[in-house]
Amino acid sequence: MNDSFARNPAEAEILGRIARRGAIPFVEFMELALYHPEGGYYSRPGATTGPSGDFSTMPDVSPDFGRRLAVQAAEVHERLGGGPWRLVELGPGRGLMAVDLLEGLARHAPEAFRELSELVLVERSPSLREVQRRRLAEAAPGVPARWVASLAELPERSVRGVLVGNEILDALPVHLVVRTEEGIGERWVTIDGTGRLVFRDGPVTDPAVRILAERYGVVPRVGDLGEVSPALADLVADVSRALAAGAAIFVDYGHPAAVLGDEAHREGTLLAYHRHRVTDDLLARPGDQDLTAHVNWDHLEDAARAAGLEVAGRTTQDRFLLALGIVEDMVAPGAEDDAAGLARALAARSLVLPGPGAGKRFEVEILVREVGTDLRGLADPFAGLDAFS
């Protein structure tokens, strides 16, 4: 395939690099497919989440997700002894959750809302920044907001407050590793005789990749595929650098390392999303489909401790939201024929429905500095209710 057949600048760059070098490691393919400045999935103009996009995230489902997250942020503010504080959102997407967080503070924690000195949005895509800017100008014109392209741009220890990231970690580029008879190798991307993008096994791009794969046992058997993400540790190091005191709250899907290496995950966890359908054709449509891998929670926690943060703990999304009072939002306010109120109550319920839904699949991991680890969102929401425990 000639790069003049490329459908967008991300694909053109991928094909150009393969033409020059023969093959590129999958991690480089993923970085370009998602974050190429013009053609990357998260850089190009156009919706990525929500009904007209490729997948929905919790803020698309219900505003009470962000509003209850605000209750946790407010508790951290209280633990800091009050006073001016910053709220930082990593990868705010369409800006829905940023607005929900502010509304949640205003509604559930007015003092923390009044004392918020700045909302910082970490977004590298200019087109998404514009979407976020417009939404915030309309919904919260009085709140000082600032944008940076990367956490590394924030001065060291400049955040006394809370960082939040919803579905950020699963979007970090991963190395795709494979166990062969010779040991651990890495998947590279090349083109076959018919011009199609295809995988090829090759050597690891960096000894750190082999070390991570062995440490977390993600590919224990010959033939196993799995992922490792040095970018995860880099992000946690940036969080630790920026955080003077407070908490970082990540919501995402992931597994402990032992699960990532088990029989059910012999193919790894990488998936592609296109128009609300999941596919395992990772190399199709570079720049036009989302690519995502489950978070390795053990790696995240080890990286946090290595960076000097404390791990407060991890819980499932449903328990987190219940502990923060979402039951109040699950009852339709006002008249029985208030369709909007009923829809809102049903949406709040869907965040915590029992069974294999989002409430259990998503987890919340909280990293802290100087605010203690016994946070409300991590407490047992059913304590004292024997019938539920």
Ligand X SMILES: C[S@@+](CC[C@H](N)C(=O)[O-])C[C@H]1O[C@@H](n2cnc3c(N)ncnc32)[C@H](O)[C@@H]1O
Here's the x/- map for ligand X, 259-298, by CB under 6 A: it reads as: ----------------------------------------
333: left (phi over 0), alpha (psi -120 to 50) or beta: beta
Residues 6+ apart with CB under 8 A from 217: 257, 258, 260, 261
- Least CB distance to ligand X at residue 53 (A): 9
Q: Which is nearer to ligand X, 19 or 152 (CB)?
A: 152
In order of 16, 67, 110, 194, 279, the CA distances from 105 in angstroms are: 48, 7, 6, 56, 38
Q: Which is nearer to ligand X, 124 or 376 (CB)?
A: 124
d(CA 83, CA 371): 14
Tell me the chain's radius of gyration from C-alpha atoms.
21
Number of residues counted as binding ligand X (CB under 6 A): 18
186 class by beta-carbon count within 10 Å (0-12 exposed, 13-18 middle, 19+ buried): buried
Near ligand X by CB under 6 A: residue from 8, 49, 240, 296: 49
Q: Which is nearer to ligand X, 242 or 345 (CB)?
A: 242
Region from 136-144, 166-174, 328-336, 348-356 binding ligand X, contact rule CB under 6 A: 166-174
| Binding flag, residue 167, ligand X (CB under 6 A) | yes
Q: Which residue is nearest to ligand X (CB)?
A: 91
- Least CB distance to ligand X at residue 246 (A): 17
| Binding flag, residue 25, ligand X (CB under 6 A) | no
**What is the CB neighbour count within 10 angstroms for residue 295?**
26
- Least CB distance to ligand X at residue 91 (A): 3
Token representation of residue 153? 């741009």
| Binding flag, residue 62, ligand X (CB under 6 A) | no
**What is the CB neighbour count within 10 angstroms for residue 142?**
5
d(CA 210, CA 26): 15
> Where are any strands of DSSP class E within 213-304?
225-228, 243-255, 271-274, 277-279, 290-292, 295-296
Region from 100-108, 163-171, 176-184, 308-316 binding ligand X, contact rule CB under 6 A: 163-171
Near ligand X by CB under 6 A: residue from 42, 113, 199, 216: 42
Q: Which is nearer to ligand X, 92 or 104 (CB)?
A: 92
Q: Which is nearer to ligand X, 18 or 33 (CB)?
A: 33
- Least CB distance to ligand X at residue 94 (A): 6
| Binding flag, residue 90, ligand X (CB under 6 A) | yes
Region from 165-173, 263-271, 325-333, 347-355 binding ligand X, contact rule CB under 6 A: 165-173
Q: Which is nearer to ligand X, 8 or 49 (CB)?
A: 49
d(CA 70, CA 66): 6
| Binding flag, residue 12, ligand X (CB under 6 A) | no
d(CA 210, CA 7): 34
- Least CB distance to ligand X at residue 111 (A): 26
Query: Is the distance from CB of 65 to CB of 359 less than 8 angstroms?
Result: no
Footprint on this chain of ligand X (rule: CB under 6 A): 42, 49, 57, 59, 90-93, 97, 122, 125, 151, 166-168, 171-172, 235
